[in-house]
Amino acid sequence: MNCKKCGYSLWNLAPGPCPECGTVFRPSDYRLRVNACRFICPTAGCGQDYYGTDEQGHLEPIAFVCVKCGRGIEMDAMLVLPTVGVDERITKQEGLLWADRRDRGWVRAFWGTFGTAIGNPYRLGRDVMSEACNPLQARVFSAICTLLFGVVGIGPLFVVLPMRQIAGLGVQGRPQDMLMFVGYLLLAFLVPALVLWLGLQVWGLLSHAALLVALHVGHRTEAERNSEMLSLGRTMEMVNYSAPALLLVGVPCFGIMLAPLGVVWLWVASAFALSQVPGVRQWRALVAVGVWPLLVVVGVVVWMIVMG
C-alpha cells in the first residue's frame, strides 16, 4: 500500500497525512485482495488483527467493537499490514496493467490498458487512482497510441497522393533524390503522430485549468472541498491514458474524416476517467474537458461567417 501521489510505503502507519508528501490517505482508498491484508486495532496495547473479506478486500462491517479491547473502532482508523506469508506486491487487486508492464510484458500491458480505455473508462480511472501518480509513463503510453494512429490512419494520405512523383525521383538513382524520398516518408508518417500527441498534451493542460475553475464554481460537496487528489499530474494521466479513444483517427485513409468523432470519444472517455478522482463530479469533468474543443469549433464557425 503506497501513497497515490508520491509512492511512499504506508504499511503499518496510522491513516492521515503521508509522511513524505502530506497527502491524506485512508485504507478505504485502496482496492485490496480478499484476506491479503490484516487491519490492526489502533487502541494502544491491543493489536487485534482483522481480515478484509468484501470484494475490495475491506472489512465487513467497516465499524464495530473490537473483540479484544472492547472499544469501538473504524476501518479507516486502523493500521494495515500484509497478511503473514503474503508478499506485499500481490496484496492489491489488479490495477493499471501499463504500470506493471515489466512484469506482465509490454505487449500484454499495452493492449490490456488499450482495451480498458476503450471499453470501460470508469475502470481506467479507478486503475489509475490505484497507482502512484506517474504522468511520464502515461505520456509514453499515449505516444505509442498516437504513433500507431498517425502512421496507419493519416500518414498514408501524404504518401499515396504524391507517390508517383516521389518514386520518380527515387528511380533516378541519385543519392540526394533517395534521401529526399526517405525523408519525405519519415515526415509523412511521424509528423501526424507528433501533432496528435502534442494536441493531447495541450488538451490535458487546458482541461486541468478548466476543471480547477469548475471545482470552485457553485455549490461543492465536502469531498470536493477537501479533495487533495486532483493534481495536474493526475489530469494528464487520465487524458493520456484515454488516448485509445482516438482509435477512429487510425482508420487507414479515412482517419482525418473520422477525427471529429474520435475527439468526441476522447472527450467522453477522459471525462469519465476523471470522474473517478475523489471530489470530481462527472458533469464537472465533462464540462471542463469539453469546453476547449467547443470553443475552437465556435471560433471556426464565427471566422467562416465573418470571412464569408
Together in a domain, 114 and 204: yes
Together in a domain, 79 and 101: no
Query: Which amino acid, residue 275?
Result: S
Please indicate, yes or no, if residue 7 is contained in any of the structural domains: no
Together in a domain, 238 and 289: yes
Q: Quick one: cell of 70?
A: 472492547
Please indicate, yes or no, if residue 128 is contained in any of the structural domains: yes
Please indicate, yes or no, if residue 127 is contained in any of the structural domains: yes
Please indicate, yes or no, if residue 256 is contained in any of the structural domains: yes
Together in a domain, 102 and 86: no
Domain enclosing residue 40, as ranges:
16-90
Together in a domain, 60 and 120: no
Contact (Cβ atoms closer than 8 angstroms) between residue 214 and residue 288:
yes
Together in a domain, 86 and 150: no
Domain count, the chain: 2
- List C-alpha distances in Å: 90 to 33, 81, 83, 118, 223: 8, 12, 11, 26, 30
Together in a domain, 21 and 145: no
Q: The pTM is what?
A: 0.69
pLDDT per residue, tens digit, the chain (308 aa), is 788 777 788 888 888 888 888 888 888 878 788 888 889 888 888 888 888 888 778 888 888 898 888 888 888 888 898 888 888 777 776 678 888 787 678 898 899 999 999 989 998 998 888 777 888 999 999 999 998 888 887 766 666 555 555 555 544 556 665 566 666 666 667 888 888 899 899 999 988 888 888 777 655 555 454 455 568 888 899 999 999 998 888 888 787 788 888 888 999 999 999 888 877 888 888 888 887 777 766 776 777 777 76
CA dist 230 and 289 (Å) reads 14
Contact (Cβ atoms closer than 8 angstroms) between residue 67 and residue 41:
no
Contact (Cβ atoms closer than 8 angstroms) between residue 290 and residue 271:
yes
